[in-house]
Structure 1
Amino acid sequence: MKDMIKRLHSLLTIKESAANVPKNLEASRRLQFFTNSLFMQMPLARPVSEMLSFSVFTPYYSETVLYSIAELQKKNEDGISTLFYLQKIYPDEWKNFLTRINRDENAADTELFSSANDILELRLWASYRGQTLARTVRGMMYYRKALMLQSYLERMHSEDLESAFDMAGLADTHFEYSPEARAQADLKFTYVVTCQIYGVQKGEGKPEAADIALLMQRNEALRIAYIDVVESVKNGKPSTEYYSKLVKADIHGKDKEIYSVKLPGNPKLGEGKPENQNHAVIFTRGNAVQTIDMNQDNYFEEALKMRNLLEEFSQNHGKFRPSILGVREHVFTGSVSSLASFMSNQETSFVTLGQRVLSNPLKVRMHYGHPDVFDRIFHITRGGISKASRIINISEDIFAGFNSTLRQGNITHHEYIQVGKGRDVGLNQIALFEGKVAGGNGEQVLSRDIYRLGQLFDFFRMLSFYVTTVGFYFCTMLTVLTVYIFLYGKTYLALSGVGESIQNRADIQGNKALSVALNTQFLFQIGVFTAIPMILGFILEEGVLTAFVSFITMQFQLCSIFFTFSLGTRTHYFGRTILHGGAKYRATGRGFVVRHIKFAENYRLYSRSHFVKGLEVALLLVIFLAYGFNNSGAIGYILLSISSWFMALSWLFAPYVFNPSGFEWQKVVEDFRDWTNWLFYRGGIGVKGEESWEAWWDEELAHIHTFRGRILETILSLRFFIFQYGVVYHMHAGKESTSLSVYWVSWAVLGGLFVLLMVFSLNPKAMVHFQLLLRLVKSIALLVVLAGLVVAIAMTPLTVLDVLASILAYVPTGWGILSIAVAWKPIVKRFGLWKIVRSLARLYDAGMGMIIFVPIAICSWFPFISTFQTRLLFNQAFSRGLEISLILAGNNQNAGI
């Protein structure tokens, strides 16, 4: 009772006011979550001396460790530097930083570079706000700091209760110098960062190695594991030996070797990241190991609850004791851009509402990545924490959950503690990440782990497992395929005339059910349904009114376009992996998105996954508009097709809508010049896909390499021939004939067009001695075609509408022929037709690019569209800063002239 009275007196007499409440939104959010978490159910913590010991484990390859001054000052095309961006995103934190280093708020950035200490502090300040290894190390070392504080306070409390209350205010400084507290924390906590190529980086004098050494000097409990490659000569023959080493910084700041384990050979046989973890897991110690990615963060107040979390291993969570403790994540990149906020909200709904339900009552939660806490002894004796087989384990994290569940482990989820997590903030980064995950799920379908779990689960648990893993991507693919089947069915009814005849029969017989079935309408946008879990998460976390306002705000930020676009990304990569296999790791990058993405770069990334499919859907809708029969008129067509049009336009233009400065005229002109240079640049040995269309095209065909894959591609490409077969019978030149000869005549015309293509694709360099003759042949061919077209329109039933209709017929037919030709590339090359096929493919890519580029160019004529886009993509402070920067850059440029 005496202790409680003293604590109550201390709380009531504290001198705080509302003025001292943090104004920083992030500080308020952290305090709010910490306060709320104290009312959640969590186990009581044992004293530090009796708690379970644990390690934190982070894989690192070659990502950013610390931002250099050059990186902070480097400006993009708009004259915006990373430092300028951070100053505008975090204005209050920037003022606090200047106060800490005794600088005036109005000081120029160049004044900060006069002192070496200020330069280092500036680099650290910027790195702590990016997705860097320095931020992760600082966050994880809070565990050690928290244990030191708790150990120090426990020792004070046990020695003298009176002095404990008197010295409580000094604990924040004294505990770091207590040798007993430091020793106790070092016994219970170890932090290992496995930097696979640290030895190579150090040997080559890379800045990353120097930055890692700096982190070791500033954090004495940090350990670095890496693979050391030793070249030697034995018996006159070169020999290579591999060692797995663990080092720390000594008192002089030099690397001090702790362990060196000789390996039987090169450890990198499978996927890079899991192999990086597997070689260094032996250096972790303790009862538990927490896996942390290199773009995560931690908070001191959350580190105080780690003892409570570790007690979950001894709690009752069902039939089996926990083997993996799931931990909630907070995505800290949500304030960077609207895309980042979409990704952040979607991720938050999964790591809270989603994983909570998966854990209890469904009991199908797996390991979806970091920052889960593993029972170290359980997993290190059952195959480790990461599977590394090449390709099949491209999504290496979830296989740890499969492995744990198959071996009678129990995976739980706990929301009273959270860890920060950085996510992709640009559309290209997000698409690459989702493509990697979708491809990984495609490989999981083929894995024996999924088969075994499906066999061992009961029926209800099996269904839950299916829907929350590969089933989600399979259902996503089915959703898109349903749209295709629906539109192809409508197109068939329109072109064959069956739809009109059935509709007439239904009208005569008064069969309303049949009439309704023929006029089926999509009233809802399918992409929005993927956001439903996020909306429910908003309702549970923030209330109905706030959730409604957030949802409306996101709609104004075009979130529906983003989610619809993501639907296409998942479908493409999942489907391609199922058909051809070969999923691969895709490096996304973790920088700030203040860079304008060129048109050619977006085209390379999305051409086959979105643009081709979007144009196919648009073509189906145009044909249905031209030849379809609909009693409801324009309103009926709009209701029928608005959802499909939205999907097609989202797939075609989303990369440019969400592209910074994507509608500025000067940028558009530069993009067009860059795109044409890339399109017509000849490939060659050593030329990359980023430099030449030919090299990129060859890379895009690399996944078709098996006989089975060629057969499947051929079968899927047959759908493009439906257009020609249906459209030619609706042309006036056919005189409403249903004879098969009309179809064969259309093929004869197509053959003439291919001959014309062969003439125009002749390489002038190959006929250097016949340049005049070549030009004459091309000119005569062009004149003959134009004259024949004019005569046909004037002297035959052929009309201008027929010419337009023939385009609708021949464009998809040509694409179908091209798709089959590239699928059977070896045979086409053997017949010497590959150059013609390549010319046809270049023509199609040029045409698709122009269809997408022209609307962008038209929109860029209106300056207000660019201003609106900037407000759409970035928050208000950065929008103001961006405009000011452009004005200043323009003034400086004019002054220079």
Structure 2
Amino acid sequence: MEKKFSYIWNAFISSLREEDLISNSERDLLVVPSSVGDTSVTQWPPFLLASKIPMALDIAKSVKKRDEELLRRIKQDPYTYYAVIECYETLLDILYSLIAETSDMKVVDRIRESLEESIHNQSLVRDFRLDELHLLSDKFNKLLSLLLEIEQEGNDTAKMTQIANLLQDTMEIITQDIMKNGQGILKDENRESQLFANINLESIKDEAWREKCVRLRLLLTTKESAIYVPINLEARRRMTFFANSLFMKMPRAPQHLCFHISVLTPYFKEEVLFSAEDLHKKNEDGISILFYLQKIYPDEWKNFFERIRPKDEESRKSMMDEISRWASYRGQTAKTAKLDHQRTNSSYQDGESVADMDLAIADIKFTYVVSCQVYGMQKVSKDAKEKARYLNILNLMMMYPSLRIAYIDEVEAPNKDGMTEKTYYSVLVKGVGDKYDEEIYRIKLPGKPTNIGEGKPENQNHAIIFTRGEALQVIDMNQDNYLEEAFKMRNVLEEFESTKYGKSKPTILGLREHIFTGSVSSLAWFMSNQETSFVTIGQRVLANPLKYVTLFSFS
């Protein structure tokens, strides 16, 4: 269970990094190691263990007499105890993986045996100078930094020499400065070469091993509290909501069969992807879209540049497509399409990898249709702006192969009387190859749908026929969906099978809406809060009014 949860949690944290809500250092502090189970204690995310090793070193420095006092003070905070045990076991694992010579192995074995014997005899405080442990911490920090600097392919002779010297210095500090009776451990008359002259760096190619080094360095060096990790408020909100939701009562997800769900989103003429010209064009106040986004999302802009790593201004210009995508994902259409499609790749995965069969099942069980009412008109339009919107929608279909676009097509054709009249069709298309869309279905309509009712509802109505499955979720372009919430989608759909409401099973399920555009302006913030007050809270009260009448009864 612990290992399965680590996959889900790490996928969640990785999605936050891909969306530039957190930095690389914050990601390293938040992830659970993929090598869960390699130590005898639970391996918590490093942000929970931040500053615990420096704290333990201070405790060890202050304890002078009894091992019982040292153990009691360390165990006062369970996370400090976990950090100490994990740090010790991981250090041994890394050291043993670096050793190539049997004589070097014996040195580490003797030190380990002496330490464990002192712990067993409760004589650690007497046998070791614990106030010198900070010297060891500094050496290991330098060692880990060097190991991580070495590329996975190729040997850096200079760095290998530095690593050997650091290992030699470390052993001398342990045996001469920290151990009171360790002077003879390094003496070996049969030794043919210098201590740690040969080092095994094969482990560096292993990503899990490098991950251990990163985690250990964080444990050793992170001195400030991680209470402010992550800094981004949106990342905090999502983490808090996800963590809290894990403790709520929810139906169990089915092991095999689950509902097929379709998501339908209406679109009219909103911007899809910003062009370079759009981003740099200034309004009457002299403010460009890119400048505005940089100011309202300063930390995300910084994280974005950390992710793409432009070397200079020239390379930054060549990455304009990436910048355009970053800006567009802070708009409505591209973000909603991108995040809703995370369900396809994530809702149904189980374990560390997703096989082709799993993806095929996900495609069968999940359908995403965007009803782009005027897509056909944009396709043949001569207006540059409309043509650009068509190309951007087409680009989204290429990026997300499972995305389907529904639109109303107007065709002029002769009728029975020989007169030319307009005929209307509902059309469903998908992306094919690198630059084409392919028609899947075409359904003739009795007339123009938008003449019957309002534009938005009819835009949805004509596309409903292209949805599949037992459940249909209708969301707007300013509504969001997140990877971590997609993991719970199977549980949510089981509400339709619930019998707790009586004989009739539910047919409509209301989900809390988060409008991510609320931070754009004061008006958007007001409208977002209005939705929370009059829709989310109101509907929850009306769902079971008698319960709330009793709650607020004054009798």
- TM range, normalised to the smaller chain? 0.5 to 0.7
Partner of 1:43 in structure 2? 251
Amino acid at match of 1:343: M
Q: 2:329 is matched with which residue?
A: 128
After superposition, the Cα gap between the structure-2 partners of 1:318 and 1:10, relative to the gap in structure 1 and judged at 3 Å, is farther
Instruction: Tell me: CA distance 1:11–1:119, structure 2 relative to 1, closer, same or farther (3 Å).
Output: farther
What is the distance in 2 between the residues matched to 1:311 and 1:10?
37
CA distance in structure 2 between the partners assigned to 1:252 and 1:2 by the alignment? 41
* Residue in structure 1 matched with residue 31 of structure 2 by the alignment: none
Summarize the alignment of residues 303-318 of structure 1 with structure 2, pairs less than 5 Å apart: 303-318=486-501
Q: Which residue of 1 aligns with 2:82?
A: none
Cα deviation digits, residues 748-800 of structure 1 (max 9, x gap)? xxxxxxxxxxxxxxxxxxxxxxxxxxxxxxxxxxxxxxxxxxxxxxxxxxxxx
Deviation at 1:351, TM superposition (A): 4.3
Name the SS for the 1:85 alignment partner: helix
Identify if the C-alpha distance between structure 1 residues 288 and 120 changes in structure 2 by more than 3 Å, giving closer, same or farther: same
Could you say if the C-alpha distance between residues 220 and 2 of structure 1 is closer, same or farther in structure 2, counting changes exceeding 3 Å?
closer
Distance 1:51 1:265, change over 3 A: same
Distance of 1:3 and 1:249 partners within structure 2: 37
| CA apart distance, 1:278 | 1.3
User: Are positions 1:214 and 2:390 aligned together?
Assistant: no
TM-score by length of 1: 0.35
Paired letter, 2:292 = Y
- In structure 1, C-alpha distance between the alignment counterparts of 2:261 and 2:284, rounded to whole Å: 47
Residues 53 and 188 in structure 1, CA contact (< 8 A), matched pair in contact too: yes
Alignment partner of 2:293: what SS? helix
What do the CA deviations read for 1:65-87 (whole angstroms, capped 9, x no partner)?
A: 12222221111222111110111
Tell me if the contact between 2:347 and 2:489 (Cα under 8 Å) persists in the aligned partners. no
Q: Is 2:269 the counterpart of 1:62?
A: yes
Task: Indicate the structure with greater helix content.
Answer: 1
Is this contact kept in 1: 2:348–2:487, CA < 8 A?
A: no
Is 2:517 the partner of 1:333?
A: yes
Secondary structure class of the residue paired with 1:245: strand
What is the aligned-residue identity percentage?
55
Is 2:371–2:406's contact at 8 Å kept on the other side of the alignment?
yes
Q: Can you list the C-alpha shifts for 1:862-893, whole angstroms capped at 9, x where unaligned?
A: xxxxxxxxxxxxxxxxxxxxxxxxxxxxxxxx
SS at match of 2:518: coil
* Residue deviations 1:172-194 (CA, integer Å, cap 9, x gap): xx42xx21111010011000111
C-alpha separation in 2, matches of 1:329 and 1:343 = 12
Partners of 1:363 and 1:281 lie apart in 2 by: 36
Q: Which residue of 2 aligns with 1:240?
A: 422
Residue 442 of structure 2: aligned partner = 260
- Give 3-state SS (helix, strand or coil) of 2:477's partner: coil
> What amino acid is aligned across from residue 202 of structure 1 in structure 2?
K
Report the Cα offset of residue 88 of structure 1. Answer: 1.0
Contact 1:224-1:246 at 8 Å conserved across structures = yes
Residue in 1 that maps onto 2:306: 99
Please tell me whether the aligned partners of residues 369 and 467 of structure 2 are also in contact (alpha carbons under 8 angstroms): yes
* Aligned positions of 1:692-841 closer than 5 A: none
**1:359 is matched with which residue?**
543
Aligned partner of 1:145 in structure 2 is 345
Specify the code of the residue in structure 2 equivalent to 1:192: V
Residue of structure 1 in register with 2:364 after alignment: 187
- Change in Cα spacing, 1:239 to 1:353, as seen in structure 2 (3 Å) is closer
Q: Which residue of 2 aligns with 1:198?
A: 375
Highest CA radius of gyration, 1 or 2?
1
Cα distance change on mapping 1:336 and 1:312 into 2, 3 Å: same
Q: CA deviation at 1:2?
A: 11
CA 10–93 in structure 1, closer or farther in 2 if over 3 Å, else same: farther
Is the CA contact (8 Å cut-off) linking 1:192 and 1:284 kept in structure 2?
yes
Per-residue deviation, 1:239: 2.8
Change in Cα spacing, 1:195 to 1:75, as seen in structure 2 (3 Å) is same
CA 1:276 to 1:191, structure 2 compared with 1: closer, same or farther past 3 Å?
Answer: same
CA deviation vs aligned residue, 1:402-459 (integer Å, no higher than 9, x gap): xxxxxxxxxxxxxxxxxxxxxxxxxxxxxxxxxxxxxxxxxxxxxxxxxxxxxxxxxx
Tell me if structure 2 keeps the 8 A contact 1:140–1:298. Answer: yes
Q: CA deviation at 1:335?
A: 2.9
Alpha-carbon separation, structure 1, partners of 2:45 and 2:272: 41
| Equivalent position SS for 2:278 | helix
Shift in Å, 1:306: 0.6
Contact map agreement 1:331 1:348 (CA 8 A) in 2: no
Q: One-letter code of the match for 1:87? A: Q
Question: Are the counterparts in 1 of residues 426 and 443 from structure 2 also a CA contact under 8 Å?
Answer: yes
Q: Give CA deviations for 1:508-538 in whole Å, capped at 9, x if unaligned.
A: xxxxxxxxxxxxxxxxxxxxxxxxxxxxxxx
1:54–1:289 CA contact under 8 A, matched in 2: yes
Cα deviation, residue 198, structure 1: 0.6
Structure-2 change in CA distance of 1:76 and 1:3 (3 Å): closer
Are the equivalent residues in 1 in contact too, given 2:478–2:516 (CA < 8 A)? no
Shift of 1:10: 8.6
User: Structure 2 counterpart of 1:84, which letter?
Assistant: F
Structure 2 Cα separation of the partners of residues 350 and 182 of structure 1:
39
Does the residue aligned with 1:328 lie in a helix, a strand or coil? coil
Residue 229 of structure 1 corresponds to 410
Q: Which runs of 5+ in 1 are unaligned?
A: 154-170, 365-459, 461-897
Partners of 2:261 and 2:365 within 8 A in 1: yes
Counterpart residue number, 2:192? none
Cα 1:246–1:343 shift into 2, 3 Å: closer
The residue number in structure 2 matching 1:13 is 43
CA distance, structure 1, for counterparts of residue 480 and residue 232 of structure 2: 18
Q: Residue 333 of structure 1: CA displacement?
A: 3.0
Structure 1 pair 10–81 and aligned structure 2 pair: CA distance change class (3 A): farther
Secondary structure of 2:282's counterpart equals coil
Please tell me the residue identity of whatever aligns with 1:68.
S
SS in 2 for 1:347: helix
SS in 1 for 2:285: coil
Amino acid at match of 2:538: G
Distance between the aligned counterparts of 1:346 and 1:32, measured in 2?
A: 22
In structure 2, the CA distance between the partners of 1:10 and 1:120, relative to structure 1 (3 Å rule), is: farther
Q: 2:506 aligns with which of 319, 322, 325?
A: 322
1:712-762 alpha-carbon deviations (Å, 9 max, x no partner): xxxxxxxxxxxxxxxxxxxxxxxxxxxxxxxxxxxxxxxxxxxxxxxxxxx
Q: Answer whether contact 1:143 1:303 (CA < 8 A) is retained.
A: yes
CA distance in 1 between counterparts of 2:40 and 2:485 reads 23
**Counterpart amino acid of residue 406 in structure 2:** A
Letter in 2 for 1:133: T
Match of 1:112 in 2: 316
- Number of the residue aligned with 1:415: none
CA contact (8 A) 2:397 2:403 kept: yes
Aligned counterparts of 1:342 and 1:233: Cα–Cα separation in 2? 51
Residue by residue, what CA displacement relative to the aligned partner does 1:528-587 show, whole Å, maximum 9, x if unpaired?
xxxxxxxxxxxxxxxxxxxxxxxxxxxxxxxxxxxxxxxxxxxxxxxxxxxxxxxxxxxx
Give the distance between the partners of 1:29 and 1:147, measured in 2 at CA: 21
Q: Structure 1 residues 196, 340: CA separation in 2 closer, same or farther (over 3 Å shift)?
A: closer
Deviation at 1:90, TM superposition (A): 1.0
- The superposition leaves residues 265-323 of structure 1 with CA deviations (integer Å, 9 ceiling, x where unpaired) of 32222211111111111100001000011222211001111111000001134233211
1:279 matched to 2:444? The reply is: no
Query: TM-score, normalization: structure 2?
Result: 0.56
Contact kept? 1:135, 1:296, Cα under 8 Å:
no
Moved over 6 A (4+): 1-4, 6-11
| Distance change >3 Å, CA 14–CA 350, structure 1 → 2 | same
Gaps of at least 5 residues in structure 2 are 5-35, 51-221, 550-555
Show the 5 A alignment for 1:579-594.
none
Equivalences for residues 656-671 of structure 1 within 5 A: none
Alignment of 1:472-511 (within 5 A): none
Q: What is the aligned partner in structure 2 of residue 527 from structure 1?
A: none
Matched residues, number: 334
